[in-house]
Amino acid sequence: MMINPQAVRAQIKEAIKLHKDHFGVEPKGIWLPECGYYEGVDDILKEYGINFFFTDSHGVLFASHRPKFGVYAPIYCRSSVAAFGRDIESSKQVWSANEGYPGDPDYREFYRDIGYDLDHEYIKDYIHPEGIRIHTGLKYHRITGKVDLSDKQPYNPEWARGKAEQHAGNFMFNREKQVDYLANYMDRPPLIVSPYDAELFGHWWFEGPLWLEMLIRKIAFDQKSIELITPSDYLTRHKCNQVATPCQSTWGAAGYNEVWLNEKNHWIYRHLHMIADRMTELADSFPKAEGNLLRALKQAGREVLLAQSSDWAFIISTGTMVPYAIRRTKQHVANFLQLYDQIKYCKIDEGYLAHLEWQNNIFPDIDYRSWRTHADKTKTAIS
């Protein structure tokens, strides 16, 4: 049984709307939060014109019917929405803490920053006005190896560029060999699905964008056995695929839901379900809001989405910056409840509302009607 299906619809609808606002077209596919899937969510994706999504490897491998081609071809859910499974081998080459490319000694060290390294007098004009040291984004050291942060050596951009080119070539070579082997057992070209967090490229792995550029160029010019393809293009070429229901899964530790639902963070969900229900109540009660009421309803929707962020439960579970995650969860819930009372009793505090609009201004064109019980679920509703 799906809890708060209208809350799920609102998340998906807002994601599609934001994509169209930025790129001018509605997306054909979606990366569900944390690569998470549970039976029935594909039905909602279909309502909004989404044709495919991604799961972790076991989401497809442990589907209701064993997939003939493993993760090297998509499967169709009964809704006709396709599920693409993540390839284990190519993921390991990038993500593995021991074998992944980003950990190479010549790449830039993430945790050393001049905001903490250099003399205060030298950097005082570039940090907090009160003298509080902060990350500036300027980093002078390379990973060096498994040494103390104080022993990190100076960063050499040319060495790093050379490693990025070497690793791009290695990744391409391995995919060529992988595809060559798999092709012996399939009636169609094998598909290697390699999804990664966007923040990996340029944030955690400074040279990631360069590696990606070099990989794309090498695939285009240095070989002829593999090609880059989008999921949409693959489905256009290969319309006939096995039908099965993926298993409930995520790409979190242990592969299922325990990272986001355990003895450390389970307390948050009763509050999230409550504010999701109340948001639907407000949207149903005020279908044609204007003025400050409209502003308050839109901000209430923002607070709901912010409270629902999977990052808070993740941080609480992993034990990193727990007080911050708890504070953020409680604050967004409290903000919503304050707005809920103001809206319900027609006593909107414009000063308080303006402060929240300034502080939590994500999704500027959010549509609070996405939470309505009888909201139009067709594509025209989001056009």
- Is 55 in contact with 252 (CB distance < 8 Å)? no
Quote the Cα angle for 342-344-345, to 5°. Answer: 65
To 10 degrees, what angle do helices 268-285 and 310-318 make? Answer: 170
pLDDT at 131: 79
Residue type (1 letter), 75: I
3-state SS class at 171: helix
pLDDT at 374: 63
**Helix residue ranges, H only, the chain:** 5-23, 41-47, 57-61, 88-95, 114-117, 120-123, 157-182, 208-221, 231-237, 268-285, 291-307, 310-318, 322-344, 350-359
Residue type (1 letter), 100: G
Residue type (1 letter), 230: T
What averages of pLDDT result for each successive group of 10 residues across the chain (383 residues)? 87 95 96 94 96 97 96 98 96 87 96 91 84 88 94 97 98 97 96 93 95 98 96 96 97 94 97 97 96 98 98 95 97 98 96 98 95 61 36
Ordered DSSP codes for 321-360: SHHHHHHHHHHHHHHHHHHHHHHHTT---HHHHHHHHHHS
**Distance set, CA 14 to CA 26, 214, 369, 381 (Å):** 11, 34, 10, 11
CB atoms within 10 A of CB 130: 5
Q: Is 323 exposed, middle or buried (0-12, 13-18, 19+ CB in 10 A)?
A: exposed
324-337 core/surface letters (b: 16 or more CB in 10 A; e: else): ebbebbeebbebbb
The tokens describing 118, both together, are 């250099």
- Is 383 in contact with 24 (CB distance < 8 Å)? no
Quote the Cα angle for 247-253-258, to 5°. Answer: 70
Which residues on neighbouring strands pair with residue 54, listed in sequence order?
84
| CA–CA separation, 84 and 99 (whole Å) | 25
| CA–CA separation, 151 and 122 (whole Å) | 22
Widest CA span of the chain, in angstroms? 69
CB atoms within 10 A of CB 207: 23
Domains of the chain plus CATH, in order, are 37-100+164-249 (3.20.110.10), 109-154 (no CATH), 268-382 (1.20.1430.10)
Query: In sequence order, what are the residues at sequence separation of 6 or more whose Cβ sits closer than 8 angstroms to the Cβ of residue 366?
Result: 14, 298, 301, 302, 305
Q: Which of 69, 84, 31, 92 is nearest to 179 (CA)?
A: 69
The tokens describing 374, both together, are 């009888």
pLDDT at 97: 73
3-state SS class at 50: coil
Residue type (1 letter), 45: L
| CA–CA separation, 14 and 26 (whole Å) | 11
